[in-house]
Structure 1
């Protein structure tokens, strides 16, 4: 890979980073949005069911309303915590190199190189930059790890990643 515009970032993945990634994946899917809308509808109808006096409907609306608005985020929080604690890869920092040719990720003796064309998309959230290999698998780069160089990184991404694959804030 070329070395002309390299930005290097030492990345540590914390539980909150994994949680934000999982939330992003869950609530950006069509079905995630549908489930959320159903849950909100259930919560809106719940008070009316108390007036109607139908106990079974009241319990169903309450359970349906809480499922995707409360239980899903809590289960994702636990899953993120477990994944970061149990996966040995997250115990050591990664070195991300971003340049005009693509993304290089190194950790200990492992090195992975990806051309920009190989990535499905690159997404910036409030706290992360996500380099997606497919719809559910991405390399996570917390912005807190690269605050001083984020503008240079975003500049490289804008220049090198095809616009249809780029979703920056």
Structure 2
């Protein structure tokens, strides 16, 4: 069985995927914890009288900076990547079969066996086929159209059990 789709990367889809990629790791989690901790620390210091009330503004600004910097940076980076990275310009044809995934972009064909796949993940707007720890084929969900179920069936059947984390 062979399934083909044509994918068009968008800044919104790439941003969605990079958010997942960043915050699914421990460092992303720690950044959020640190941001919240700074805010709560400021509140506690002001309430207990160990810091003047005006300092709460600085604690809350620092907290907001920790919590907002990464998402804003990722959004700007995704927009820039879609504009500048040849890998994301134009369309890419993906062919899924029993052997794996073949991508054809700008006349360049690359093949990835199902055995190479470390994991297959879903975000709200994308599906990522990780062929290395930090490298993935990123395909917007909307481009799967009516081929989503057959392609995911191929992935589940031909990858290591537990590799596919798609809900």
Scaled to the shorter chain, the TM-score interval is 0.7 to 0.9
Total equivalences in the alignment: 165
- What is the rounded CA distance, in whole Å, between the counterparts of 1:123 and 1:95 in structure 2? 20
8 Å Cα contact 1:9/1:95 also seen in 2? yes
Secondary structure of the structure 2 residue equivalent to 1:100 = coil
Shift of 1:152: 1.2
Shift of 1:162: 1.2
- What is the rounded CA distance, in whole Å, between the counterparts of 1:57 and 1:159 in structure 2? 57
**Residue segments in structure 2 that go unaligned for 5+ positions in a row:** none
Shift of 1:56: 8.6
Shift of 1:138: 1.0
Match of 1:25 in 2: 21
Q: Deviation above 6 Å: which 4+ runs of structure 1?
A: none
| TM-score with structure 1 setting the length | 0.87
Deviations along 1:57-105, one digit per CA (max 9) or x if unpaired, are 6355324421332111011100111111111232210001111110100
Q: Which of 134, 152, 160 matches 2:150?
A: 152
Q: Which of 9, 13, 17 matches 2:9?
A: 13
Secondary structure of the structure 2 residue equivalent to 1:141 = strand
8 Å Cα contact 1:11/1:142 also seen in 2? yes
8 Å Cα contact 1:49/1:57 also seen in 2? no
Match of 1:36 in 2: 32
8 Å Cα contact 2:16/2:124 also seen in 1? no
- For the aligned residues, what is the CA RMSD? 2.0
| TM-score with structure 2 setting the length | 0.88
Deviations along 1:104-145, one digit per CA (max 9) or x if unpaired, are 000132000111111221112222110112232211111101
